[in-house]
Amino acid sequence: MSEALQIKLPADIDWHFWIERWDRMQDSYLPHRKERFELMVRLIADTQQSVTQVLDIGCGTGSLMLPILKEFLEADVFGIDFDPTLLLLAEKRLAEFGNRVHLVQTDLRDESWLKLVPHPMDAAVSATALHWFSPEQLGRLYDKVAEILRPSAVFLNADHVRSDSESIQKAWQQHREQMLRQEADRSAEDWEGFWDAYGKALEIDIKAFRRKLTGPWEGSEEGLPLEWHFRKLRDSGFGAVDCFWRCDCDAIYGGIRQPT
């Protein structure tokens, strides 16, 4: 992992506890989160004859990397994220896979990240990360993802998507909240609660640390319409662009890298 994390860690952190706590918090926000991961792994297997290198963009704690490593036993999986405090959890979560795991701490808004991972990749994935980017940043990122994929490789993203209709968007959000209430794990905390507690465990002001890393928020919590993603992906060199799964304002979309 990158040496960028300049934090003296307490010696008695229960990493397994914090990984489970992160997953409970994420599950409380994302309906059918496990189902999304399972479908993305299946789509990789269904579209690729051989999988030796996979990239997870904005990998966080390695939640999506885990099922990919389990499914593709010969594959090296690379995870990129700006936040070293999340990569600490990914490192612990994925320790059993040894040198098949490669974690890189860098800012994906800086195109130099391309030099930090090998080319070409057989698949690139992301989950609930790219809505942090502005439309301009995301369009450039799609171009760079296309550069590192071999022809016929697949790109898949599971993230929030928005409707152009305010009434439809409102209905989606209401239904999502209803689903989450029905599926709620009462022991799960919210986003702010997790970060407050995790920062105390690491003995740092973690919110200030993350603000310094990210700078001003430029994305949209609601995401962008699927039609926007489809257009940008085609412009970047992807074909067979489609939505492969959808639940109201969440979707899995992507495409196949076309020959240049």
> Is 233 part of any domain?
yes
Above 70 in pLDDT, residue 145? yes
pLDDT in tens, 177-230: 887 777 666 667 888 999 999 999 999 888 888 877 776 666 677 889 999 999
> Is 22 part of any domain?
yes
Above 50 in pLDDT, residue 137? yes
Contact, 85 vs 58, CB < 8 A?
no
Work out the average pLDDT over 138-166.
95
Work out the average pLDDT over 226-236.
97
Q: Which parts of the chain are beta strand (E)?
A: 53-57, 76-81, 101-105, 121-127, 149-160, 238-247, 250-257
> Is 143 part of any domain?
yes
> Is 182 part of any domain?
yes
> Is 4 part of any domain?
no
Contact, 89 vs 22, CB < 8 A?
yes
Contact, 84 vs 4, CB < 8 A?
yes
Residue 241 structural domain: 15-257
**What is residue 180's predicted lDDT score, i.e. its pLDDT?**
73
**What is residue 7's predicted lDDT score, i.e. its pLDDT?**
65
pLDDT in tens, 10-64: 888 999 999 999 999 999 888 889 999 999 999 999 999 999 999 999 999 999 9
> Is 5 part of any domain?
no
Contact, 249 vs 161, CB < 8 A?
yes
CATH number at residue 135: 3.40.50.150
**What is residue 235's predicted lDDT score, i.e. its pLDDT?**
98
> Is 6 part of any domain?
no
Tally of domains in the chain: 1
The helix/strand/coil state of 57 is strand
